[in-house]
Structure 1
Amino acid sequence: MRSTTTRRLRTAAASLTCAITLAACANGAADSAGTSASGAPKKIDAALGTTFSGGKSGTKATGTPVTIGLVNQQGGAVSNPEFTVAAQAAADYINAKLGGVGGHPIKLKSCYIVSSEEQGQVCAQRLLADRSVSLILQGGLNVGTQSLHRTVDGKKPVLIGQANPGPDTVAANSYATNASALASLHGVGPYLENTLKAKTAAIVSNDNAGDLAIAKIFKNDLEARGIKVTYATFPATSTDLISPLTAAGAQKADAVVPIVVTTTGCTALAKAYQQLSLTTPAVVSNLCATDQIKNSLGDYPKWIYSSSTLSLQADDPTGQTDFFRAVMAAYAPENAELQINAPYGFSAVFSAAKILNTVGYDKINAKSVAEAARDYAGPVLLGSPTLDFGSVADNPTIGSLAVRFYKYEGSDVWKASGAWINAPK
C-alpha cells in the first residue's frame, strides 16, 4: 500500500512541479527588481559559513581549483538563471572567505538545458568527459532529466539541489538535498491533522488533468486521516473562484486546500476570499507569496504557506536567511533575484563544499565523493535540518521530505507555524 501511495504522490507531484516551474519563471522577470538584496544585513556570519561548508573562516582559496559540474535549465521559455547566479555567489564567498575546499577554490563548470530532452544527454556527456569533475550539481529541471540521469548512469555522483518527481527520485548515485514539490505533497496532510486539528477540509482545483490528479491525492490522504473533504473544481481559464469555494463549503470547513500556484490563480483566490469575507485558514504553496501578488493586492494574502526552504519573509532565529541575504548582497550582481530558485542554488553549493571538504582535497575522486554524499546527513543551509538518504520509500535519492509552514498575519508579520514536518529524526 505504501509503495502505491508513493507512486501516486510522485505522479501528482510531477504535474505540480511542472506548474510550479512555469509559474515561477513567469513571475521571475516581473519580480526581480522587488526581491533584490537591497537592505540586506551587511555583516556576514562567518560561523554559519563554516558550519555549512566545512571550510576554514578567514582563509582565501588559492591554487588548483576543485571543479564542480553544474546543470541547470535556463535560456529558453522556462528559465531559472537565479539558481546559477546564487550558486556562483555562494562559491565566490566560500573561495574568498572560507578557504574553498581544503584551501583550493571551487570552480563551477556550467552546462545549460534550454528546451529539449537531448540537451540533458549533452550536458551529461560533457561533464563525464571532464576528468576534473568528480561531482555534478543539478538544479530543478522540467526537461532533460531523463536523458541526463540515463547518460550519467551512476558514473559520477549527482547532487540534486531541487528535486523534481520522476528520475530525480530514483537515479543511481544521486542525492537530493531538497525534495521541493514532493515535500509539500507529503506535508499538508500532517499539518492539517496535527497542527490545525482540522476535522473538515475544502479542496478547490481547476479542471486540468494535472491539478485533478493532485487534488485526488490530497483528498485521499486527508480522508485517510479522518478529515471529511468536500471538493469542487473550476475551469482552468476562470478567474472567479467564488462559486467553487462556495460549492466546496469553504465557509464552514476547518481549512481550505486550494490547488493554485500561478499569479493569476493565487490572485483570483485572494479576491474570492475578500468577496466572501472568508476567514477559513487557506494552506497554499509559497508561490502565492510573491512580490507580484503583493503589489497586485496591496499585501500578501493572510494565508498559511508551505515551503521546503526557510521563508525569506519570516523571522529566522537560526540566522540562515540573513546570512543568505548578506552573502548575496556582497557577491551576487546588483538586484539579483533572491526568490524562486535562488535559495536552492545557494544552498546546494554549500552542501557540495561540505561533502568535498569531508573527503579532503587530496582524496577527491568520483568514488570518494559518492561515499561522502551518501553519508551526508545535513544540516542543509536554508533547508532540512537533517538528511537520511534511503529513508524515503521508493525514493532512494531523497534525503528528506521536510517542509515548513508559515502564517502571514498582515503588516509584514510572518510567523513560523510549528517546526519542520517530515524531517528525518
Structure 2
Amino acid sequence: MTTRRLSLAAAGLTCTITLAACANGTSDTAGTSESGAPKKIDSTLGATFSGGKSGTKATGAPVTIGLVNQQGGAVSDPEFTVAAQAAADYINAELGGVDGHPIKFKTCYIVSSEEQGQVCAQRLLADKSISLIVQGGLNVGTQSLHRTIDGEKPVLIGQANPGPDTVAANSYATNASALASINGVGPYLKDTLKAKSVAIISGDNPGDLAIAKIFKGNVEAQGIKVTYTTFPASSTDLISPLTAAGAQKADAVVPIVVTATGCTALAKAYQQMSLTTPAIVANLCATDQIKKAFGDYPKWIYSSSTLSLQAADTTKQTDFYKAVMAAYAPKNAELEINAPYGFSAAFSAATILNKVGYGKINAKSVSAAARQYTGPVLLGSPTLDFGSVAHNPTIGSLAVRFYKYEGNGDWQASGDWINAPK
C-alpha cells in the first residue's frame, strides 16, 4: 500500500542510455528547501549508508550501474531517477563513489508495453560495463524484464511490487513497498489498535481485488472480523461502499486506495459522513493535492515502508535525505512519492559495490555481495535477510511503519518498525 502501482499486471518500456546530471552542490553551502532541509549534510551518515569515505572525491574510470524505471508514459515516476542521480552525485563528490571511482548510471525507461521490458533487459545485458542493475517500481514490463535477465546479472529492486519482483532469479529487493504494508497491517490492527472488527473497501479492478484478498486474509488471520465491499474502480463516491462495509461501527477502516483521485474521494466521504473511524491508508494519500482541497491532511494513520518525511526522526536520516536533495537535485525536485526509494537504492548499490571493491567488480562477485547485504537501508528497513520471507525469495524485509496524523502539522510515529528481520 506504499506505492500507487499495486496492479499485478505488466506492460512495457522504451529505453534510453543517457541521463543528464542533476545540479551539484556542496555539503557546506546546500540551501534550504521548502521541506526544511538543513544546510549541512551529515557526512557520517553518508559514509555509514554508502560504505564510502567522507571527504573523498571520486575520480578515474566510472563504475557503471544499469537503472530501470517507469517514466514517460501514462504512469510516470521520474522522481525515482532524479533522486537516485542526486544520491550518486553526492556519493561521487563527497564519499569517494565506489572505492574511489565515480558511479555512472545507464538508464532504461519503461513507458507502455511489456515487450519493451525485454528490449531493456537485452541492452543492459549486452553492456559489459554493467555488473549491477537498479530497478524502480514497475507495473509494466516486469515479467519480460526479469525473464530476459534470468539471473545473468544481479538486480537490486528499490521498490518491489507483487508478482515477478518477489521471485525473480538473482534479484534483491531492499524495499518491499506494498508487500510490507500488506503483511504489516494485520499485526498493527491487532497489537496497536486492538481492533476486533475492520471494514475493507477496494476498487473492482483485478489488481485491487488481488491486493484486497491478501489484506482480508492477513487481517482475518489475526482473529479480526472483516467486512469487505467493492466499488467501481472509476467511482469518486465512496459513501456507499463505506456504509456497506460498516465503517461507522468498525474499529478501523482499511481502504485500498492508492491514487490521488482515490484518496481524495475517501477524504470527501469521511468528511460528508462525519466519520471518525481510524483509517489506515497508504502514505501516498498524504499529498499536497488533498491538503489544499481539504485545508489539511486527513487525520488518518499512514502506512509506509520508508521513514516519514513529515514526522520527527531521531535517526536523522530524513534530514540527511533532504539536505542532499537540496544540494544535488534540481531546484524544486519532488521529495515524496517514489523519490525516497530511488535515493535509498543508490546508497544500497554503493554499499554493495564498495564491499566488492573496484578491481573485483563483476556479475558473480556483485551477486554474492548483494545476497549477503543485511542493511541497514537508508530511509528503510534497519535490517535485511534475503531468503527469510516464505515464497518471496527476493524480499529482504517486510518492515513497515505507521504514522498517525493529529492535524496542524503534528505527525506521530505509531510504534516502531513492524516485521523487520531480527
Give TM-score, length-normalised by structure 2. 0.91
383, 395, 401: which one aligns with 1:398:
395
**What residue number does 1:156 align with?**
153
Contact 1:40/1:322 (<8 A) preserved: yes
**What residue number does 1:6 align with?**
none
In the alignment, residue 102 of structure 1 is paired with which amino acid? D
Partners of 1:229 and 1:322 in 2: how far apart? 39
Contact 1:15/1:210 (<8 A) preserved: no
SS class of match (1:408) = strand
Per the TM alignment, residue 220 of structure 1 is displaced from its structure 2 partner at its CA by 2.6
99, 106, 119: which one aligns with 2:116:
119
Distance change (3 Å), C-alpha of 1:412 and 1:38? closer
Per the TM alignment, residue 76 of structure 1 is displaced from its structure 2 partner at its CA by 1.7
Q: Does 1:172 pair with 2:169?
A: yes
Contact 1:13/1:214 (<8 A) preserved: no
Per the TM alignment, residue 277 of structure 1 is displaced from its structure 2 partner at its CA by 2.0
Partners of 1:420 and 1:97 in 2: how far apart? 30
Contact 1:312/1:321 (<8 A) preserved: yes
In the alignment, residue 377 of structure 1 is paired with which amino acid? T
In the alignment, residue 304 of structure 1 is paired with which amino acid? I
Partners of 2:244 and 2:166 in 1: how far apart? 37
**What residue number does 1:68 align with?**
65
Per the TM alignment, residue 347 of structure 1 is displaced from its structure 2 partner at its CA by 0.4
**What residue number does 1:192 align with?**
189
**What residue number does 1:275 align with?**
272
Bigger CA drift: 367-376 or 114-123?
114-123
Per the TM alignment, residue 216 of structure 1 is displaced from its structure 2 partner at its CA by 2.9
Contact 2:202/2:256 (<8 A) preserved: yes
Q: Percent identity?
A: 83
Distance change (3 Å), C-alpha of 1:349 and 1:21? farther
Per the TM alignment, residue 21 of structure 1 is displaced from its structure 2 partner at its CA by 11
Per the TM alignment, residue 268 of structure 1 is displaced from its structure 2 partner at its CA by 1.9
Partners of 1:210 and 1:20 in 2: how far apart? 7
Partners of 1:241 and 1:247 in 2: how far apart? 10
311, 316, 321: which one aligns with 2:313:
316
SS class of match (1:17) = coil
Structure 1, unmatched stretches of 5+, are 1-11, 23-35
Per the TM alignment, residue 180 of structure 1 is displaced from its structure 2 partner at its CA by 0.9
Distance change (3 Å), C-alpha of 1:280 and 1:184? same
Distance change (3 Å), C-alpha of 1:133 and 1:207? closer
Per the TM alignment, residue 19 of structure 1 is displaced from its structure 2 partner at its CA by 8.9
Partners of 1:206 and 1:309 in 2: how far apart? 25
370, 375, 397: which one aligns with 2:372:
375
Structure 2, unmatched stretches of 5+, are 12-32
Distance change (3 Å), C-alpha of 1:131 and 1:213? closer
**What residue number does 1:47 align with?**
44
Per the TM alignment, residue 299 of structure 1 is displaced from its structure 2 partner at its CA by 0.6
206, 209, 220: which one aligns with 1:209:
206
Higher helix share: 1
Contact 1:20/1:287 (<8 A) preserved: no
Contact 1:20/1:261 (<8 A) preserved: no
Aligned length: 401
Bigger CA drift: 54-63 or 262-271?
262-271
Contact 2:290/2:297 (<8 A) preserved: yes
- Alpha-carbon deviations, 1:173-195, whole Å to 9, x = none? 11110111111111111110111
254, 257, 260: which one aligns with 1:260:
257
Q: Does 1:349 pair with 2:346?
A: yes
**What residue number does 1:18 align with?**
7
Per the TM alignment, residue 345 of structure 1 is displaced from its structure 2 partner at its CA by 0.6
